[in-house]
Structure 1
């Protein structure tokens, strides 16, 4: 089983149905080509909310507050104007804040990013606290990061101690 399969097997509630993402529009506007693993993740979990705390965005959502493109464009501006420690981290990777992809966020205003790489298998996850300097950098795909956090294999420097719950799950909302 893949990490995506294991994550999908967590207890789930909410609406069933396909998660529609507008990949062509998202890639055009954001100037990138998403790795196949990320597309598979968002196809499974776009609009979902894990443990009533971490929302996964969807490319092409009508609600701009959960739309991958709108939230990415807003976050890129924020990251360019602040967070010098994150800009320094990105510079080490030859990445500009204007290349980040914001794939999710939390109720505490924490931001979940993908950091692009020329090799689609080497994109990594960056989680930045809403207020402060803490961040997580995970060398791997989103589904692996999220799975490790939800199982307690990885303790985040960003998320609160009560995330995840003892029995983590997610709520599907493919139409959000």
Structure 2
């Protein structure tokens, strides 16, 4: 089973089925082409909330609070003006805050990003604490990062000690 399959096999509530995402509009607006693995991830988990804490955004959601495009624009401004240590990290990777893609967030205002790369296999996950300097850098796809966090195979410096729950689950909400 793939990491995406393992995530999807976690206990879930809510509406099943593929999530409507507006990939063409979002890719054009952000000037990025997403890896097929990320598209599959959001087509399964867009709008989902893991352990009532971490929300995955949708590409083209009507609700600006969960829209990948809206949240990416907001988060890029935040990263460019308030997080010089993150800008330094991105510079070392040949990137900058204007290229980040915000794919999710938490109830504590933590932000989950993709760091694009011209080689799809080198995209990385960056999670930044809402208030403070802590961050996680994960070399790999979103579904692998999230699965490892939920299994506690990857211990986050960002998320609180009580996330994830002992028995992780998620709520599907594809039309949020």
Cα distance in 1 for residues equivalent to 2:83 and 2:29: 24
Structure 1 gaps, min length 5? none
Match of 1:65 in 2: 65
- SS, match of residue 76 in structure 2: helix
- SS, match of residue 21 in structure 2: coil
Cα distance in 1 for residues equivalent to 2:31 and 2:128: 22
1:42-100, CA deviations, whole angstroms, 9 ceiling, x for partnerless residues?
A: 00100000000000000000000000000000110111111010000000011010000
Q: TM-score, normalised by structure 2?
A: 0.99
- SS, match of residue 171 in structure 2: strand
Match of 1:48 in 2: 48
Cα distance in 2 for residues equivalent to 1:153 and 1:172: 24
1:12-161 to 2 correspondence within 5 Å?
12-161=12-161
Is residue 124–residue 141 contact of structure 2 (8 Å, CA) maintained in 1? yes
In the comparison of the two structures, how many residue pairs are matched?
Answer: 176
Q: TM-score, normalised by structure 1?
A: 0.99
- SS, match of residue 75 in structure 2: helix
- SS, match of residue 102 in structure 2: strand
Is residue 17–residue 44 contact of structure 2 (8 Å, CA) maintained in 1? no
- SS, match of residue 60 in structure 1: coil
1:102-122, CA deviations, whole angstroms, 9 ceiling, x for partnerless residues?
A: 000000000000000010111
Is residue 100–residue 115 contact of structure 2 (8 Å, CA) maintained in 1? yes
- SS, match of residue 136 in structure 2: strand
CA RMSD of aligned residues (A): 0.5
| Runs of 4+ more than 3 Å apart | none
